[in-house]
């Protein structure tokens, strides 16, 4: 399948500060925006891939870690909400950080979004390929790197095409995929709890206990930090609801509300699934225990047979679990393309990257070069990593946490600085524009620094790299990939600054007229 050729551009509005880029305004309501925010996090896949890691670190305290990881996400979501109210631009972090701190900082914030999304696309494509084969019973092909890569590439092409031909089609597909995901997750949780309290669960099961929600029982601050950082990953993605703000009804209010609602719904879903899975399977390192390293890559599917049984309905339900993770990856693949394409669209509109990325399809009213470019970059990165090593691919996914903490934290600080002159106007302004996003930014800065220390250990992750110059330190592959991606962005920014210095020499993104005292 091939993508349609890129049509002649619909030229973006001229002049600095223009926010009408030609996207289809009013296409999404609050419900559709919330669905996109939820689907972008891939709840089923995120839990399946991360819950085992969290349990391995803190054991029975996993539910409180899931709640604590929600805190910085909720605080930053409020920062997004307030900044979007003042400036509903689809560039989000890029635009807002540029207004608050200047174009160089904004450019790096935009790059953080792009880099994180391209890296995670490789993992989503891998999951889609492997689970697609598992769904039809072709377990041998699911272990074959070549065929999994082929299907993963096709998957990216299909999702790119859907994003290309319209935001409404994208939103409607998300509703269908998310419905399957949420229904099966709740079915798994309820069935597990019924068996626990009905006495038919395995011997390792136990009823829910309040001690699971006591952070004081976590062994050390280091364990708390590492587990919360892993937990932050399962919430990442809700900001897509804000990235499509220029295509949303009441675009200065609806996207921000959708972002906050998404994080709260995710909290409820994650606490339910975490507690029910833990109650049913326990936290042991053997058998169905959630800390079993053999199941760490997909904790939920490994529980399918035990929770649902093997005969009749049980076999069907187990297949539904596989379908659930597949649809979760599919939904997230699509909603990862959406924010990246709109970030680069905004960057091009403000002359921060080549103008061609600002082109809009004359009929579909979607980004053309930006959408296709995201698809091609994701395919190239995915194929390159699978050819190099699956261990490198695994480490690259681990590095995404650094970029998440970087651009989410930057957005929180941008909110405080942008509104610094009006923080004393009212208690509400102080809390929602200052304390909440500022605290979220501080927490994520701490997690970023701590993660750099943890990830830099040579024995962390699947690979390690030795510096080619003295003192020839050996660093973990997760750290090298994450920091390397951010440094690559800095290099690209400097190169583009030489080629086209206009964006960096003047105030190309002026203060929004919507909040004249915002700076």
Query: What is the reported pLDDT for 511?
Result: 47
What CATH number is attached to the domain comprising 56?
1.20.1740.10
Q: Is residue 447 part of a domain?
A: no
> Is 483 domain-assigned?
no
Sign of the alpha-carbon torsion through 154, 242, 249, 251: negative
pTM: 0.90
pLDDT at 299: 83
Residue 385 belongs to a domain = no
Give every residue of the chain whose pLDDT is below 50, as ranges.
1-18, 510-514, 516-519
pLDDT of residue 136: 83
* pLDDT at residue 19, as a whole number: 56
Residue with tokens 């470019």: 373
Cα gap 402→494, rounded to integer Å: 21
pLDDT of residue 507: 54
Q: For residue 505, is it within any domain?
A: no
As a three-state string, the secondary structure of 348-373 is HHCCCCCHHHHCECCCCCCECHHHHH
Asked whether residue 113 is domain-assigned, the answer is yes
> Given this model, what pLDDT does residue 92 score?
96
**pLDDT value of residue 509:** 55
In a domain, 346, yes or no: yes
Between CA 397 and CA 192 the distance in angstroms is 30
pLDDT at 427: 95
Rounded Cα distance, 454 and 465, in Å: 15
Q: What are phi and psi of 466, to 5 degrees?
A: -105, 130
Q: Which of 367, 380, 340 is nearest to 91 (CA)?
A: 340
Number of domains in the chain: 1
How many C-beta neighbours within 10 Å does residue 200 have? Answer: 10
* Domain hosting residue 335, numbered range: 30-377
pLDDT single digits (tens) 195-223: 999 999 888 999 999 999 999 999 888 88
């Amino acid at each position: 399948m091939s993508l349609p050729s890129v049509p002649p551009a619909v030229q973006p509005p001229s002049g600095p500060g223009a926010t009408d880029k030609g996207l289809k305004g009013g296409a999404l309501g609050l419900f559709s925006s919330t669905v996109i925010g939820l689907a972008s996090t891939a709840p089923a896949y995120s839990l399946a891939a991360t819950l085992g890691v969290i349990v391995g670190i803190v054991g029975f305290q996993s539910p409180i870690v899931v709640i604590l990881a929600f805190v910085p996400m909720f605080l930053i979501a409020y920062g997004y909400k307030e900044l979007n109210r003042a400036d509903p631009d689809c560039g989000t972090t890029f635009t807002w950080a540029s207004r608050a701190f200047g174009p160089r900082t904004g450019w790096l914030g935009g790059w953080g979004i792009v880099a994180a999304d391209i890296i995670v696309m490789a993992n989503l494509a891998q999951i889609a390929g492997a689970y697609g084969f598992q769904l039809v019973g072709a377990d041998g092909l699911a272990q074959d790197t070549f065929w999994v890569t082929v299907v993963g590439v096709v998957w990216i092409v299909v999702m790119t095409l859907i994003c290309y031909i319209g935001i409404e089609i994208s939103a409607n597909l998300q509703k269908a995929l998310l419905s399957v995901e949420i229904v099966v997750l709740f079915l798994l949780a309820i069935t597990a709890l019924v068996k626990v309290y009905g006495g038919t669960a395995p011997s390792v099961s136990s009823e829910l206990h309040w001690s699971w929600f006591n952070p004081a029982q976590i062994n050390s601050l280091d364990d708390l930090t590492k587990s919360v950082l892993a937990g932050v990953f399962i919430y990442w993605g809700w900001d897509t609801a804000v990235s499509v703000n220029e295509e949303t009804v009441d675009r200065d209010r609806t996207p921000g509300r959708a972002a906050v609602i998404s994080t709260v719904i995710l909290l409820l879903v994650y606490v339910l699934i975490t507690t029910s899975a833990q109650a049913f399977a326990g936290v042991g390192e053997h058998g169905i225990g959630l800390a079993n390293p053999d199941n760490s890559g997909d904790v939920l599917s490994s529980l399918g047979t035990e929770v649902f049984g093997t005969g009749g309905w049980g076999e069907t339900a187990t297949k539904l679990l596989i379908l659930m993770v597949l649809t979760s990856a599919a939904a997230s693949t699509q909603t990862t393309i959406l924010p990246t394409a709109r970030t680069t669209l905004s960057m091009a509109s403000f002359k921060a990257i080549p103008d061609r990325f600002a082109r809009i399809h004359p009929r579909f009213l979607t980004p053309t070069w930006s959408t296709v470019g995201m698809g091609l970059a994701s395919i190239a990165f995915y194929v390159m990593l699978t050819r190099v090593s699956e261990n490198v691919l695994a480490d690259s996914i681990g590095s995404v946490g650094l970029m998440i903490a970087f651009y989410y934290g930057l957005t929180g600080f941008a909110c405080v600085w942008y509104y610094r002159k009006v923080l004393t106007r009212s208690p509400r302004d102080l809390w929602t524009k200052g304390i909440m996003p500022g605290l979220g930014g501080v927490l994520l800065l701490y997690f970023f620094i701590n993660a750099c220390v943890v990830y830099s250990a040579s024995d962390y992750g699947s690979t390690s790299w030795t510096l080619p110059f003295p003192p020839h330190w050996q660093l973990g592959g997760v750290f090298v990939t994450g920091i390397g991606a951010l440094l690559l962005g800095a290099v690209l920014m400097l190169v583009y600054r030489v080629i086209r210095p206009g964006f960096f020499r003047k105030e190309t993104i002026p203060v929004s007229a919507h909040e004249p005292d915002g700076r």
